[in-house]
Structure 1
């Protein structure tokens, strides 16, 4: 019995010592992972509980690395976005300050009124830019709760066109709609109207004076589709892949706008399960397509 006990004691001591040694090695490996960004712990091929633990540590390490990389990219994107926002706001502010200095030294009443109108337009643009950036930030933060329900497409188009009626009348832009009565899509009517308005704004700028905008709708067994087409020159081939990117203003340095509207439009629609695309029609016009799958 003494010999058997001694043998078991020796085996237990050897086994326990080996386990403690393995645990100490794992502890050292974890310390290296924590203090060396380039080090990655790979578990050994031995079977047993410690091997499972080593494997889980490796998975956890990879997951943490992925999250850190994602945070670095998000931080970099945030820094770039803040720089872009500052640049976008600085442009109209600089113009407004210049106009105010001209107003101060200009005694001609008619010219002063013209400068005041330009200043008002700049502040309206800044107000729209700030409001759009706030909407984008709310969507990015995930604090927007969409009130999903049936939305009548005809009413949606009418509500989206309403803010532009005066502008279209001044520029003699004709709008033709072909939306079957009773066509319904599932979504948040207020946010969908915001999305369509941003596309309409782009179409109005593209159509120019004496232009045309055509709005159509088709209902298929797979999806409901809304199309918006203007009579402008179309979209440059180089701009198409980046048209919905945030702060993208086109390869033409004289392009108007801030590169916010279409990015906001895409975010709103995709968050509600839809898709939005743009292409140049063979006739040269710009064609935007919104689809909601059934």
Structure 2
């Protein structure tokens, strides 16, 4: 009887001691986990309120290590998004400054012409001033329209209607607005477009892109110039090449031709640096590519390619 009690007492003491040890270990372990979680929480708070703080201390524990890994990914993603937003704001500010500058030049000219028009008694001079004002207003209208198109493309609200487009019809549609100006400036036009050539894309926007290239080429070719449009088809791609007889590009300008608002190193360069940028956006977002280089025979050469 005594032996049994002694055994039961020892077992009871052992059970109590085991429970106490387990409870102590559980308390210490739980406290350590809560301390680690509190530290991670404090570090997350730093991340949220301090964009420069990205470090979250590592944890050796399994579950907390996984949590640490996921939070680290989140902080890096937040940093990337913050950097992207910062760049977008800077780009927007720069773009607004460029737009204001682009509009200020023709507006200043219009104000000056209107002042001269008011004080000029000569009828011929007044007609010349009116024609020049009309020309500037057309330029401003083109500028604003192009900027609106660029903003729509930047915002991603343009939905291209992809379909089979006949290249010959596309080139003819793009040329239509320029036929009279080319005739007035005695610009020779050569077209070589095989019948039945098809590309995949939005014909309206592609026509817009080609018109911007043609506008650039017509200005470069000048009086009695020449423009050549040659289309080629092979198993890999379809190409639309436009070549003018102008002076071509300066070597240092070639890498930046399609950059927005880039007008070249020449201080006397005309244009706004928008047309070619808009052209590239339209073409690349429909799966095509566009390149520009100096033609071996002189002048500029633009090549638009659409893969099969």
Q: Distance in 2 between matches of 1:168 and 1:131?
A: 23
Instruction: Tell whether the 8 Å contact from 1:43 to 1:51 is kept in structure 2 after alignment.
Output: no
What value does the CA root-mean-square deviation take over the aligned residues? 1.0
User: Residue 222 of structure 2 aligns with which residue?
Assistant: 208
1:227 Cα offset (Å): 0.3
Instruction: Tell whether the 8 Å contact from 1:42 to 1:55 is kept in structure 2 after alignment.
Output: no
Instruction: Tell whether the 8 Å contact from 1:43 to 1:58 is kept in structure 2 after alignment.
Output: no
Range with greater deviation from structure 2 (190-199 or 52-61)? 52-61
User: Residue 66 of structure 2 aligns with which residue?
Assistant: 52
1:249 pairs with 2:263: yes
Instruction: Give the unaligned 5+ runs of structure 1.
Output: none
Counterpart mapping for 1:133-212 below 5 A:
133-212=147-226
Q: Distance in 2 between matches of 1:47 and 1:21?
A: 13
Q: Distance in 2 between matches of 1:73 and 1:278?
A: 28
1:31 Cα offset (Å): 2.2
1:108 Cα offset (Å): 0.4
TM-score by length of 1: 0.98
1:12 Cα offset (Å): 1.2
The total of aligned residue pairs comes to 294
User: Residue 63 of structure 1 aligns with which residue?
Assistant: 77
Q: Distance in 2 between matches of 1:227 and 1:106?
A: 48
Range with greater deviation from structure 2 (156-165 or 26-35)? 26-35
Q: Distance in 2 between matches of 1:55 and 1:42?
A: 9
User: Residue 78 of structure 1 aligns with which residue?
Assistant: 92
Range with greater deviation from structure 2 (54-63 or 122-131)? 54-63
1:10 Cα offset (Å): 1.4
1:37 Cα offset (Å): 2.8
SS in 2 for 1:288: strand
1:5 Cα offset (Å): 1.8
Q: What whole-Å deviation, never above 9, does each CA across 1:250-285 have from its counterpart, x for those lacking one?
A: 111111111111010000001101000100012221
Counterpart mapping for 1:224-239 below 5 A:
224-239=238-253
Instruction: Tell whether the 8 Å contact from 2:221 to 2:245 is kept in structure 1 after alignment.
Output: yes
1:7 pairs with 2:21: yes
Q: Distance in 2 between matches of 1:63 and 1:213?
A: 50
Instruction: Tell whether the 8 Å contact from 1:43 to 1:55 is kept in structure 2 after alignment.
Output: no
Question: 1:277 pairs with 276, 282, 291, which one?
Answer: 291
Q: Distance in 1 between matches of 2:148 and 2:47?
A: 40
Instruction: Give the unaligned 5+ runs of structure 2.
Output: 1-14
Larger radius of gyration: 2
Q: Distance in 2 between matches of 1:37 and 1:171?
A: 58
Range with greater deviation from structure 2 (27-36 or 136-145)? 27-36
